[in-house]
Structure 1
Amino acid sequence: MQAAPLVIDVTGINKRFGDKHVVKDLSLQVREGEIFGFLGPNGSGKTTSIRMLCGLLTPDSGRGTCLGLDVLSESAAIKRQVGYMTQKFSLWDDLTIGENLDFVARMFGMQGRREVVDRALEELSLSGRRDQLAGTLSGGWKQRLALASCLLHHPRLLLLDEPTAGVDPKARRDFWEEIHRLSAAGITVLVSTHYMDEAERCHRLAYIAYGSLMASGTAAEVVASQQLHTWEISGDNLQGLGQALGQLPGVDLVASFGATLHVSGRDEAQLKASLETFLQGKKLAMSVVSASLEDAFIYLMQGTRDPLHG
């Protein structure tokens, strides 16, 4: 089966703001129809990277294409073919849903605006709220309106910057069903998120920390690349054990998972021996579990630091 063509193909992309090197030699390839997840701590360069890809910022150096257009010299043409949904709701609170969409359609110079808006309202299940002021909408409905505005001009690529922050679980689930529907229709989606369940819904992932790409691939490949062995510790009175476990030889990571602790390390034999010795005489149980994407994510975060805070 022939691989889908590349929609994003950039190499060695850099961006500085003053003396701060925000994006460092970013290389990224995203294929047509793919849902590609962008993970990383706050301030890691995800938003700046997205803005360079959609033509809102020009890279200082590097090379590559987005939608077949040069990211350095053809940013204006890229913007016309991309839908960009920002972290913060950026439409007008004092306009209705219908008025907001009509205004966006007018900015794009679209013909037959009434039909275009009607179709967008129908596709995103907003028709019944057409005359509701945007400022009165809940987070989930604002998110749906923002997505509708991004889709008005039929973009080939959607760039979504933490689109589900602050919305309830049902709205998040509904939103992701819509994203998968768009992907199945051939639209490519690059989405940044902090939610592990959302990251696992992506076809492939990249983890970026303070400007540098640390890992990429499918969720399974990202987990496997960290070479973590994980044991789950269960029982009563686990509170306060995390710090002691973290000091043991072979332990690289301790994380709470509900009523259990996940203890991970790269040296399997040393990790197992340390845990068995530590648990002797304690009413606790240990069992092998598969390292999760969250384990890998926390491990990656642990290995990086914000250069502004040492």
Structure 2
Amino acid sequence: MTNPVIVKGLTVSFDKKRVLDNLSLELKPGEIVGLIGPSGAGKSTFINSLLGMTKSEAGKITIFDKLIPNRGVMGKIGFMAQSDALFGELTGQQNLEFFGALQGFSKKALLDKLVKAAQTVNLTDQLGKSLASYSGGMKRRLSLAIALQTDAPLILLDEPTVGIDPELRQKIWKELRELVAAGKTILMTTHVMDEAEKCDRVLLLREGNFVAEGSPDEIKAHYEAKSIEEAFIKAGRELEFKKKEK
């Protein structure tokens, strides 16, 4: 069986500026991969490319053996965007029901998944309220619940824990670990370096290139760093040094 996600030579440019430069990557079942990098490095562009939302200049992406873009694959992907795509006139539960129905769940199956996802993000008591009463953090939690309830084998999360308190983050990570233990694949972008430490594999993306890839321990050993944050800083300095040498 091939890996669920295979990226080969992905290149994306906007207004003649290279945003992703010949990237290749394979994601395996049962792992959490953290994609980290400074703002503007191309993290969201990479996620959007996997979804077929961004047109590539070169390279190819296959997800579950289907060449992307492919609408049929979308039902196998749980997605949380960096910007919340929610219906403001609906309640939290109605948003969950709407997006869950797109996955083709029966009403009973959807209710079970909805309840569990809402509990994971501590939104159970607010489900009946209109989104107009939700804070920004609550909307992020609802977006995460929508991605988690899909039961999809591939979950893409773009900055999932922004605006979420540390205690709730621990609960969410427990759920993510249960998902990968069941064989699901999770790719998440994050600015939170201690979260990168919790991933099975970390990708450092800078200026459209993967400058390092490996387990947190492997990356720290490579840069002789005590933390992923220190390795991240050293990787940036190394890249700047190489640019000056050219």
Alignment equivalent of 2:74, drawn from 65, 76, 79: 79
Higher relative contact order (CA 8 A, sep 6+): 2
Tell me whether 1:28 sits opposite 2:25 in the alignment: yes
- CA positional deviation for 1:139: 4.9
Alignment equivalent of 1:176, drawn from 154, 160, 173: 173
Corresponding position of 1:162? 159
Please give the residue correspondences for 1:1-310 in structure 2 after superposition, counting only pairs within 5 Å: 5-71=2-68, 74-106=69-101, 108=102, 110=104, 112=106, 114-124=107-117, 125=119, 126-226=123-223, 228=224, 291-304=226-239
- CA positional deviation for 1:5: 4.9
2:231 partner amino acid: A
Contact 1:205 1:219 in 2 (8 A): yes
2:94 partner amino acid: E
Which deviates further from its counterpart, 143-152 or 94-103?
A: 143-152
Partner SS for 2:38: coil
**Aligned equivalents of 2:17, 2:41: Cα separation in 1:** 12
Q: Deviations over 1:112-134 (max 9, x none)?
A: 3x324421332121444331223
2:108 partner amino acid: E
Instruction: Report percent identity of matched pairs.
Output: 34
User: When you count helix as a share of all residues, which structure comes out higher?
Assistant: 2
- CA positional deviation for 1:302: 2.6
Which deviates further from its counterpart, 20-29 or 59-68?
A: 59-68
Contact 1:92 1:135 in 2 (8 A): no
**Aligned equivalents of 2:190, 2:25: Cα separation in 1:** 17
Contact 2:140 2:162 in 1 (8 A): no
Partner SS for 1:32: coil
**Aligned equivalents of 1:172, 1:203: Cα separation in 2:** 17
Distance 1:8-1:139 versus aligned 2 partners, 3 A rule: same
Partner SS for 1:6: coil
Contact 1:97 1:145 in 2 (8 A): yes
1:156 partner amino acid: P
Rg larger in 1 or in 2?
Answer: 1
1:137 partner amino acid: Y
Segments of structure 2 that go 5 or more residues without pairing to the other structure are none
> What is the count of residue pairs matched by the alignment?
237
Contact 1:140 1:172 in 2 (8 A): no
TM-score after normalising by structure 2:
0.87
- CA positional deviation for 1:65: 1.6
**Aligned equivalents of 2:138, 2:173: Cα separation in 1:** 14
Contact 2:75 2:103 in 1 (8 A): no
Segments of structure 1 that go 5 or more residues without pairing to the other structure are 229-289
